Amino acid sequence: MKILAISGSARRNSTNTSMLRAVSAVAPDEIEIAVFDGVRSLPVFSPDLEGESLPQAVRDFIALIARSDGVIIASPEYVRSIPGGLKNAIDWLVSGDEIVHKPIALLHASHRGDDMLAGLRTVLATITDRFASDIFLRLPLMKLEPAEVLRTVETAENRSRVRAYLQAFSAYCAAGGETA
């Protein structure tokens, strides 16, 4: 199972990116997770740049989506909303077919952010018919440094929660969208 984990943060030492890397490190062997932390490298969406004019960074991002069996998104909340970089990345996907039937689940690194999550759930349910709204994991990692995030995810309790989450999402991806 190949999962693309997208960080909605543009920060270099992002808690969300660190969490996704830590989740990748504790994933079961049968689940391969590639972390995409490049929302900051995508140009601002414009329909004028679609088709033959599609920027290479966007082509590469879309290819990552196409090669994955499913997508996990982890994002901070900015002013009670979806960060602009993540929304921009999603905007680049809406004209193509790569995301329409792609399983997507959310992972969250904070006890806060419910307004952003509600908005993101609405957007994701709009762009794919395979948004797994009931497969969700929240880990209390806010304000931790990357090494602390890894140590926290590696604890027995959190490792177990992460693996159960990944296995549920993997089963969802393999089942063609039905809850396994």
Which residues neighbour 134 within 8 Å (Cβ) at sequence distance 6 or greater? Answer: 179
Using CA atoms, how far apart are residues 37 and 130, in angstroms rounded to an integer? 23
Interval 125-164: pLDDT, tens: 999 999 999 999 999 999 999 999 999 999 999 999 999 9
Interval 33-88: pLDDT, tens: 999 999 999 999 999 999 999 999 999 999 999 999 999 999 999 999 999 999 99
Q: What percent of the chain has pLDDT over 70?
A: 98
Question: Closest Cα to residue 58, out of 40, 46, 47, 42?
Answer: 42
pLDDT of residue 1 exceeding 90:
yes
* Residue 78: φ, ψ to 5°: -120, 115
pLDDT of residue 6 exceeding 90:
yes
Within 38-155, residue ranges assigned H as helices are 56-67, 84-93, 114-127, 146-154
Per the document, the length of the chain is 180
Question: Closest Cα to residue 168, out of 100, 75, 105, 98?
Answer: 105
List the chain domain ranges: 2-175
Interval 77-129: pLDDT, tens: 999 999 999 999 999 999 999 999 999 999 999 999 999 999 999 999 999 99
pTM score of the predicted model: 0.95
Q: Based on DSSP, count helices (H) and strands (E) in the chain, helices before strands.
A: 6, 5
Say if residue 19 is exposed, middle or buried (CB neighbours under 10 Å; 0-12, 13-18, 19+): buried
Question: What average pLDDT does this structure show over 159-171?
Answer: 98
Task: Check: CB of residue 167 under 8 Å from CB of residue 176.
Answer: no
pLDDT of residue 180 exceeding 80:
no
Handedness of CA 37, 179, 31, 145 (dihedral sign): positive
CATH for 2-175, options being 3.40.50.360, 1.10.10.10, 3.40.50.720, 3.40.50.20:
3.40.50.360
